[in-house]
Structure 1
Amino acid sequence: MKQIVCLVFVLLAQTTIILAQKAPENRVIVITTDGLRWQDVFKGMDTTLAKNKAYHHGDSLAIFTKFWDHDLATRRKKLMPFLWGELAQKGQIHGNRALGNRVDVANPHWFSYPGYSELLTGQVDTAVNSNEYKPNPNTNFFEYLNQLPAYKNQVVAFGAWDAFDRILNEKRAGFPVINGYDVYPNLHQDPQMKLISDMLSQSFRVFGDVESQDVFIHFQAMQYLKTKKPKAMYISYGETDEFAHEGAYQHYLQAVHHFDTWLKEIWDFVQTDPLYKGKTTILITTDHGRGDIIKDQWKSHGKKVQDSHEIWFAMLGAGVEPVGEVNQVAQIYQKDLIHRLAEKLHISFKSERKE
């Protein structure tokens, strides 16, 4: 009996050593796009919205030409060819409620700051109840990584919305959170980064001063990824939510399509760079859903929109079983996702509240 116990301890010690050796090589990228409905992800374009004059803005023919097909599988792949092509073959896609696979936010508010906070801290703080909320008192996953020797000073975040300074509590977290129209002079040593920053600062502010166009955030993030090679990165796009609030369905669909294109670009880089290939786990999701039961509520979300707690997520890369579209009946919450990701990195994370 003693020999068996000793053998168990030896095996556990060996496993711990293996995981400790493996963890420093593991890399992680979390990617979100604001308010992208699960209905559009799993069903493709919505004909009811596309035919509505209030939403197609005189451009219904172009919408149907580019995104419509009678076959559901073909239709959704037209909208998101990478997601329903390579990602579906090599990763996982969760949240098709038609198959009983339910993914929901657990927070009671159903809008952006609480959603991002739930996702990135892995728990719900009901006091986080406003998009204007103060710097987040709850520690986040990337903040935790930045405290680990293997990830120290190898963490970065990019976001179109300027609230991420507060959501990720940049000052306390200690890693750069480059969001909205932020200017980071130390990055301008890279001529390409300076050019992107200059273009951003002089661009037309389509969404006002609080949110930049996604293209600038994407190019900044990609340049940083290629040159700085961070071990942990967060990227948040916002146009899906902005165009939905405007009721511009054709622009919303195009934003979804662009998002999918950028996912492919990120994945292609990960697959070709030796520092990332085979070592990187990617989580892709959203902060909240939006209306569908009442079609005119597709523009909105929040507690008064009954189905805007419904979300989706996908995973790809190291440690992710390639099962494609998950069709098992399940209930998963937004707060669970970062813990699933942490498991892939062999890391135990728990958020702490620090006022």
Structure 2
Amino acid sequence: MERLFKVTAIIMLLTSMSIKAQQDKNPNVFLITLDGVRWQDVFTGMDTNLLNSDYTENKELLTSKFMGSSLEENRKLLMPFFWNTIAKEGQLHGNRTKGSKVDLTNKMLFSYPGYNEILTGKADDENIDSNDKNYNKNSTILETANMSNGYKGKVAAFGSWDVFPFIINDKRSGVPVNAGYMDASGDLNEKEKFLNEIQRQAPIVWESVRLDVFTHHFAKEYVKKNHPKLVYISYGETDDFAHGGLFDFYMKSLQNTDALIADLWSFVQNDPIYKDNTYFIITTDHGRGEGIEEGSKWTGHGSDVKGAEHTWLAILGPDVKAIGEVSNGQLYTNQIAPTVAKILNLKIDAEVMPGNPLELN
């Protein structure tokens, strides 16, 4: 009897290991958003009109950091990971000067509707017309994955903005969400305990949006411990600095966010579970004004701001055709969630997510 018990235990262990190994072979996706970052900033670098406007406090410093001898050099100085890595190994869509367009399908053109469209694959102007903390009635791709057999308990979300528990509907979806000034919970390592301790000791610039460095490291520590298969990370500083008319901080924050994404990619490519089996899909929830004149102010966005519907998209991963900066073509934000579903081999209802998945290879 004892021998039979031991044999049974060994079989169960081997079966468990086999299932885990198979799960680890399934692709991983990191969906990342940068709040309110314009396509112009990504593809053309620092805006000289804004540099020379009242929105800039230290023109000399920004010039020394972000101005080179060409447009290509300028954008590389601002976002080196995008232009040294993604442009060589992945795809960048949304440079409208080259005929590549990425647009929202929602008509609100601000954050909650934008994130809903990214995460659910469908605009919902009828029900989502504010940034209020209302639980989303729509199911996100995070929820869809978490309800599936292959990805249940392997989904997590992190955001700087404190509305994300409502957008993702953490109560219904079961997706763990750490956003705003929420502490990490559960069996914490020393770094997570330290982050909990210091995130409110650092300057609190906005009560509803914490500094991105905390969001990043909460996410990274969780990923290192738990190796989720689908991770959503939303960096938020850029939009709030822009709303405040702080062009200096907006530029520095955008460069810093690029570095945080680079740090995450470096970790992924050096982790045996994630290496060569992980996709990064990076985008924004909305555009913003194109200039300094009333009606097109860079500080704002929304249905009354020209250009706020224009966004961009970056993709990096094992089966992504390395075509770099794309010329010509029209993509829409509602295609992102179906693309995640396709990568993860999740079955979705075309009526629920009507956008077509992107052709990655």
When the two structures are superposed, what TM-score results if normalisation uses the length of structure 2? Answer: 0.87
> How far apart, CA to CA, are the structure 2 residues paired with 1:275 and 1:220?
19
Which residue of structure 1 aligns with residue 75 of structure 2?
76
CA shift, 1:73, in A, is 0.7
Paired amino acid for 2:67 = W
> How far apart, CA to CA, are the structure 1 residues paired with 2:196 and 2:149?
30
Q: Is the 8 A contact 1:320 1:344 kept in 2?
A: no
CA shift, 1:25, in A, is 1.8
> How far apart, CA to CA, are the structure 2 residues paired with 1:280 and 1:117?
23
> How far apart, CA to CA, are the structure 2 residues paired with 1:22 and 1:230?
11
1:5-24 matches, cutoff 5 A? none
> How far apart, CA to CA, are the structure 2 residues paired with 1:41 and 1:91?
15
Which residue of structure 1 aligns with residue 29 of structure 2?
28
Task: Report how many aligned residue pairs link the two structures.
Answer: 328
Which residue of structure 1 aligns with residue 185 of structure 2?
185
Q: Is the 8 A contact 1:291 1:301 kept in 2?
A: yes
**Cα–Cα, structure 1 residues 278 and 90, in superposed 2: closer, same or farther, change >3 Å?**
same
More helix by share: 1
SS in 2 for 1:202: coil
CA shift, 1:22, in A, is 8.0
> How far apart, CA to CA, are the structure 2 residues paired with 1:249 and 1:48?
11
1:12-161 matches, cutoff 5 A? 25-52=26-53, 54-57=54-57, 59-126=58-125, 127-161=127-161
> How far apart, CA to CA, are the structure 1 residues paired with 2:202 and 2:249?
19
**Cα–Cα, structure 1 residues 24 and 128, in superposed 2: closer, same or farther, change >3 Å?**
farther
Paired amino acid for 1:320 = V
CA shift, 1:223, in A, is 1.1
1:254-269 matches, cutoff 5 A? 254-269=252-267
> How far apart, CA to CA, are the structure 2 residues paired with 1:348 and 1:117?
19
Q: Is the 8 A contact 2:91 2:323 kept in 1?
A: yes
1:217-296 matches, cutoff 5 A? 217-292=215-290, 295=293
SS in 2 for 1:251: helix
Paired amino acid for 1:46 = D
> How far apart, CA to CA, are the structure 1 residues paired with 2:213 and 2:184?
18
SS in 2 for 1:55: coil
**Cα–Cα, structure 1 residues 298 and 306, in superposed 2: closer, same or farther, change >3 Å?**
same
When the two structures are superposed, what TM-score results if normalisation uses the length of structure 1? Answer: 0.89
Indicate the larger mover: 341-350 or 35-44.
341-350
CA shift, 1:203, in A, is 2.8
> How far apart, CA to CA, are the structure 2 residues paired with 1:134 and 1:291?
27
> How far apart, CA to CA, are the structure 2 residues paired with 1:214 and 1:133?
21
**Cα–Cα, structure 1 residues 219 and 22, in superposed 2: closer, same or farther, change >3 Å?**
closer
Q: Is the 8 A contact 1:24 1:151 kept in 2?
A: no
**Cα–Cα, structure 1 residues 318 and 347, in superposed 2: closer, same or farther, change >3 Å?**
farther
SS in 2 for 1:282: strand
CA shift, 1:185, in A, is 3.1
Q: Is the 8 A contact 1:111 1:288 kept in 2?
A: yes
> How far apart, CA to CA, are the structure 1 residues paired with 2:65 and 2:246?
16
Q: Is the 8 A contact 2:24 2:273 kept in 1?
A: no
Paired amino acid for 2:258 = D
> How far apart, CA to CA, are the structure 1 residues paired with 2:252 and 2:65?
10
> How far apart, CA to CA, are the structure 1 residues paired with 2:181 and 2:257?
20
Indicate the larger mover: 337-346 or 133-142.
337-346
> How far apart, CA to CA, are the structure 1 residues paired with 2:163 and 2:280?
23
Q: Is the 8 A contact 1:93 1:326 kept in 2?
A: yes
CA shift, 1:134, in A, is 1.3
> How far apart, CA to CA, are the structure 2 residues paired with 1:261 and 1:183?
24
1:325 aligns with 2:316: no
Paired amino acid for 1:64 = T
Deviation by residue 1:220-262 (Cα, 9 ceiling, x = unmatched): 1111111221111100001110110111111100011001101
SS in 1 for 2:183: coil
Which residue of structure 1 aligns with residue 194 of structure 2?
195
> How far apart, CA to CA, are the structure 1 residues paired with 2:101 and 2:133?
28
Gaps of 5+ in 2: 1-21, 354-361
Q: Is the 8 A contact 2:184 2:192 kept in 1?
A: no
CA shift, 1:197, in A, is 1.2
CA shift, 1:96, in A, is 0.4
SS in 1 for 2:186: helix
Which residue of structure 2 aligns with residue 306 of structure 1?
306
CA shift, 1:211, in A, is 1.1
| RMSD value, Cα | 1.7
> How far apart, CA to CA, are the structure 1 residues paired with 2:324 and 2:132?
37
Q: Is the 8 A contact 2:184 2:218 kept in 1?
A: no
Deviation by residue 1:79-101 (Cα, 9 ceiling, x = unmatched): 00010001111000000000111
Paired amino acid for 1:172 = R
SS in 2 for 1:113: helix
